[in-house]
Amino acid sequence: MTILEVKTVQVLSAGEHDETWTRQGGEYDCMIPIDESFERTYLELDMRRYIDIGANLTDAVFKGIYRGKKVHDNDFHHVLNRAFEVGMDKIIVTAGCKDDITEALEIIKNNDKLYCTVGVHPTKCNEFDSYDNPMDYLSILKAFIDENKGQVVALGELGLDYDRTQFCSIETQKKYFSMQLELATETNLPLFLHSRNCASDFIDIISKKRDDLHGGVVHSFTGTAEEAKLYTDLGFFIGINGCSLKTKENLEAMASIPTEKLMIETDAPWCGIKNTHAGSKFVKTKWDVKKKEKWVEGSTVKDRCEPCHIVQVLEVIAEYRQEDPDELCQQIYDNTQQLFFPHCER
């Protein structure tokens, strides 16, 4: 692979961008469209590469629909392009129930940078009980995985959420969290885990099955340094997004995590970094943003986090930990490849 040093990269419009490259003392300009040739040359550049391990791209807000009401045009392709322009190499689309999985598979099917999870979110575990035999629902999940090998890269999201027991009781959550872990053994897939205000039950369940699991990440981490250590001692990675960087305590817990155990995500459209958050003072990169009612083609939307914002997550983490952002980004990329894409060469 030829590594070229990028001097300037300027996006001219949705269809074009202008670059001046320096290569072994020589210098040349080029203008290439953002299509396959963009992707090809992009990989040859010595730039940061990101993998967003959790983006809820099935959410209707990416079609311009908010709370069931159409507010602006579908700008999904802009959302993806913005992410690819900043160096997004892969996005794992989070799915949390059968309908969600069906839609996620539809979204990813024509784009080799998109992957998805298969699993049932703790707040959706009542869906198991809508089957006479809950094992039938598990079989449906297994079929999704078997029929989409290579595109489904994790079992998830699954886990426990004791902040939202109004959607699903603690007993039901525990029962079907355990049941879904059986699939990890059968499919060899790593886990994309959700843990909210439930640390001891979560650790109990996961520890019992530990020997049959194939690793995983505890995503959207908002716990303490002690909780982080419990997870990393069990061999899990920890996913950091804007929700993990809200308070000084969050930042301190994040800073305690060993670099080789870190992953980053956006949890888009949720968990954006807001001005009121402790981490926001470390953000360097910003986009043109409009209120959803004032959306114009090419703008981001206020309070709608999207995958390109992963750059801000990296910036806050690197600055707070006083680490080199390029090296940190590469380490996080390698961590993510190792867990979810072990057979990829790059």
Q: Which residue's CB is nearer to Zn ion, number 82 or number 194?
A: 194
CA distance linking residue 254 with residue 244, whole number of Å: 7
307 φ, ψ (degrees, to nearest 5): -55, -30
Q: Which residue's CB is nearer to Zn ion, number 80 or number 160?
A: 160
Which range, of 28-36, 191-199, 248-256, 325-333, touches Zn ion by CB under 5 A?
A: 191-199
Cis peptide before 122 (omega within 30 of 0): no
Q: Which residue's CB is nearer to Zn ion, number 244 or number 335?
A: 244
Of 211, 105, 212, 210, nearest to 153 by C-alpha is 105
Print the binding letters for residues 147-186 with Zn ion: x by CB under 5 A, - otherwise: ----------------------------------------
Q: Which residue's CB is nearer to Zn ion, number 90 or number 121?
A: 121
CB of 72 to Zn ion, least distance (A): 26
Print the binding letters for residues 81-110 with Zn ion: x by CB under 5 A, - otherwise: ------------------------------
Instruction: Show contacts with Zn ion in window 216-255 (CB under 5 A).
Output: 220
Phi-psi region of 312 (alpha: psi -120 to 50; beta: other; left: phi over 0): alpha
48 lies in the binding site for Zn ion (CB under 5 A): no
Which range, of 75-83, 188-196, 255-263, 329-337, touches Zn ion by CB under 5 A?
A: 188-196
CB of 143 to Zn ion, least distance (A): 24
194 lies in the binding site for Zn ion (CB under 5 A): yes
CB of 346 to Zn ion, least distance (A): 28
Question: Total residues contacting Zn ion (rule CB under 5 A)?
Answer: 2
Q: Which residue's CB is nearer to Zn ion, number 220 or number 232?
A: 220
99 φ, ψ (degrees, to nearest 5): -65, -40
CB of 339 to Zn ion, least distance (A): 17
C-alpha distances (whole Å) from 31 to each of 13, 34, 83, 195 are 12, 10, 20, 46
- Greatest CA span in the chain, whole angstroms? 70
CB of 119 to Zn ion, least distance (A): 11
Which residues face 238 on adjacent strands?
218, 262
3-state secondary structure of 181: helix
Q: Is 203:230 a contact under the CB 8 Å cutoff?
A: yes
Nearest residue to Zn ion, scored by beta-carbon proximity: 194
CB of 5 to Zn ion, least distance (A): 38
Those residues with Cβ within 8 angstroms of residue 198's Cβ, 6 or more apart along the chain or in another chain: 159, 160, 161, 162
Which range, of 39-47, 166-174, 212-220, 330-338, touches Zn ion by CB under 5 A?
A: 212-220
Please give the residue ranges that form the binding site for Zn ion (CB under 5 A). 194, 220
